[in-house]
Chain A
Amino acid sequence: MASHEKLKSNAPSGPIEDRWQKHQFDMKLVNPANKRKHTVIVVGTGLAGASAAASLAELGYHVKSFCISDSPRRAHSIAAQGGINAAKNYQNDGDSVYRLFYDTVKGGDFRSRESNVYRLAQISPAIIDHCVALGVPFAREYGGMLDNRSFGGAQVSRTFYARGQTGQQLLLGAYSAMMRQVDKKSVEMFPRREMLDLVTVDGKARGITVRNLITGEIESHAADAVLLCTGGYGNVYFLSTNAMNSNATAAWRCHKKGAFFANPCFTQIHPTCIPRSGSYQSKLTLMSESLRNDGRVWVPKNKGDRRPPNEIPESERDYYLERIYPSFGNLVPRDVASRQAKFRVDEQRGVGPTGEAVYLDFSDAIKRLGEDQVSEKYGNLFQMYEKITGENPYKVPMRIYPAVHYTMGGLWVDYNLQSTIPGLHVLGEANFSDHGANRLGASALMQGLADGYFIIPYTLGNYLGSNKIEKITEDHEAFKASREEAKKRLDQFFSIQGKKTVDDFHKELGAIMWHYVGMSRNAEGLKKAIEEIGKLRKEFWEDLKIPGEANYKNSEIEKAGRVADFLELGELMARDALERQESCGGHFREEYQTPENEALRKDEEFSHVAAWEFSGKDHDLKWSRFEEPLDFEYVKLTQRSYK
């Protein structure tokens, strides 16, 4: 097994419930007067970035915060719908920190670090407390207490929510806390900036190079540490539920500067999205998983049954999730629900005009609860569905199909959220940490806020307190070289003067990825993907067409940089999927399945994190694969069963 000295998890030992507390005590502190002297760069203002910026500034650090959008409040986290998990056990239904820990490790199909996951579960109740203190208007019961709902992969109700817009309310909470610090001059806000490069000096992360998206200027920003909170890379598939500007560039630039990339092939395909309708489609819209609480998933029993849903009698419907998984029913984890939908479509029992959909039916819920209660819970989702499809889900079952939604892979980090580059910390979806091979619903928001509010304030202090960090400024050679490099790359895009647009390439890449590195994968297809992506990348650098110039707002040049990076990352995802010769969570290799078509893990060979080091140069792509072994002391390795 290829291990690497840089891949030390730094997770504490001892009883799991004491680890974080012990670690907190063992870590170095920075005294209040010295905090002011440290500048920290936070890239990204989603849940992870905004909460980190606010908390660090509250502690006294000087924070510089960056985002692509015109306002930090518009980060992609705003779109999260369903909710956020926390082990409060307010419902008295048997939840506990240990159960959330257990569910998360199991849901992730045993490919995450126990210490990290336990800490996440431990911190979760404090997140809810803090968000309420900030004024987040969670749903409540008539008695004034907080309400909960259940979510896939769990048999308890531990999900806190704010109608169908939990991400919006949580983000506005974190944003308001950060803006309070802007007012206090502790946070300096730089919106409409895109990070193009990480600047390292003596092997440590010391700043970033950004493009001002309005003026086109290339700027340098120096700091004592850099926090990357730039979200996931689902848009490598072109069509996903991610916002249009979500991208991998910041993480990818760090990867090419030495940060290891972990488990790139672990992507989550969400089971309940609105199916695509045509080639012009620019993104896919998620219908929150919370809908599976009351909606029942079905397809016709008979192949090729094209009758409208209300003409198909009960006896000819197959509620396949309830049939195959009687104890979890419609609430099986996402990877299982997605794969089962794909199997139905492959059997030609799909529905709708394209045959690439299954029904999510609310008629029983409406009978049981009445239209008002259903609307109270899901009103805005139903409305959104109707706007997009022109169909009324109170009357006709929704049509849904899986779509790319979340990436469990990301930059490798240790227990302190530090990457393999000292001083570069990675938070939120951008890191690989807690979800293993499959993330449970409502756990991304929890993780982003745990990282930002409650973990980084401690672990960053430890880094700053235990390292000697020389003063440097933006005049340093390293910044100059990075600026030149960024400019050169921009010039290169303009100089190609080819015939195809960025979107042309992005769509082609997306098709390759969805086809070969999507819901199910096999060795032959993955090899084909690697070859095709290589060809497409070559064509990109020869035939790209970018209009206009670099010195003003020009979306095409922004997109070009992102797609250039996706064209490299896509290949690494395929390579990682090829090397991982097992199925686990969202990574389904057709060669490795049980007789019932469930994912078949190979624990002896693959109970590890695959961390990839970039060992090539520029366009010459080469990687070395290393392993961080995973030990399971508390949760027994078993074949997952939701039956």
Chain B
Amino acid sequence: MNLNLKIWRQKNSQDKGQFMEFHAKDISEDMSFLEMMDVVNEQLIKDGKEPVEFDHDCREGICGACSMVINGNPHGPDKATTTCQLHMRRFKDGDSIVIEPFRAKAFPVIRDLVVDRSAFDRIIEAGGFISASTGNAQDANCLPIAKDHADRAFSAATCIGCGACVAACKNASASLFVSAKIAHLGLLPQGQAERERRALRMVAAMDESGFGGCTNTGACSAACPKEIGQENIAMMNRDFMRSSAKNRD
């Protein structure tokens, strides 16, 4: 198939950036979206032009590196699918595809489709952990954890930290990302000791990084390639309220 692409090009964070048009020829329906981008880039290089920069690594939907907004949707049209897992059989000959970076104040563009998501690391740094130094642990089966608790914690822990939730939210809120970590650790007995402090610190770090507030539209979960649910945000809010209330007295 042949496609018309409108791709965002931007030299660096200062540059204003603009859309540019490209043609992708002889694209096979078995290609992944990023393989289609590879084909376009190889052609650009051969024509003496600069290829489009984009982040990617695992190409199997788990590292969270790929980050494109495709026709207005973070990671494209398919539910529960990262850009790298999207396949060209989803498109048809002659389609126009608009490709942009994840946009948010807290995610400045580095070049073309590459953005700076280091704010996510700063949030984890503030409390997305259990303080257990190497060598402290007891036998793992001394702490039975009911299967459904473990499963719920696991579901929250599957977040890949891609930032699609932020890109999808009209307020560019990071609530889904932050709450997924708070829920993962808060649902486990090991995570209780730091639960309140964690909520306070992580929420504060989120606010400092310039993410917007959550107005419960649910756009984040709809865009999330791992289908992280809204119930995590509710849990985050509860934890946050409880610990702020305590801290006030």
Contact = CB atoms under 8 A, between A and B. Distances in A.
A73 B161 contact: yes
Contacts of A548: 50
A78 B58 contact: yes
Given A135-B191, A172-B157, A176-B129, A141 B57 contact: no
Nearest to B201: A183
A137 B150 contact: yes
A168 B57 contact: no
Contacts of A547: 44-45, 48-51
B219 interface: no
Contacts of A189: 121
Nearest to A279: B28
Contacts of A72: 121
B137 A133 contact: yes
B42 A243 contact: no
A79 B60 contact: yes
Interface string B128-154: 111111111111110111110011011
A280 B118 contact: no
A205 B30 CA distance: 47
Given A74-B65, A176-B130, A282-B35, A135 B184 contact: yes
B190 A135 contact: yes
A3 interface: no
Contacts of B42: 501, 503
Nearest to A276: B30
B207 interface: no
Nearest to B114: A553
A130 interface: yes
A132 B55 contact: no
Given A130-B132, A182-B125, A73 B147 contact: no
Nearest to A177: B129
A90 B141 contact: yes
B248 interface: no
Contact of B144 (A145, A179, A245): A145
Interface in B176-218: 184-185, 188, 190-191
Interface size class of B (residues with CB under 8 A): 35 or more
B125 A183 contact: yes
A375 to B, nearest CB: 13
A359 B160 CA distance: 31
B126 interface: yes
A501 B128 CA distance: 42
B87 A387 contact: yes
B56 A244 contact: yes
B147 A144 contact: yes
A143 interface: yes
Given A71-B118, A162-B154, A547-B51, A245 B85 contact: no
A180 B53 CA distance: 31
Interface residues of A, number: 81
B188 to A, nearest CB: 5
A384 B61 contact: yes
Nearest to B67: A70
B38 interface: yes
B228 to A, nearest CB: 14
Nearest to A80: B62
A263 to B, nearest CB: 27
B232 interface: no
Nearest to B117: A70
A545 interface: yes
B158 interface: yes
A14 interface: no
B56 A388 contact: no
A525 interface: no
A58 interface: yes
A451 B128 CA distance: 24
A492 interface: no
A390 B53 contact: no
A169 interface: yes
A555 B134 contact: no
A553 B60 contact: no
A128 interface: yes
B63 A70 contact: no
A71 B11 contact: no
B39 interface: yes
Interface in A361-396: 383-384, 387-388, 390
What 7 pairs between A and B have smallest CB-CB spacing? A144-B144, A176-B129, A129-B137, A133-B137, A137-B154, A133-B132, A132-B140
8 contacts: A74-B161, A132-B143, A133-B138, A137-B188, A138-B140, A168-B158, A176-B129, A547-B45
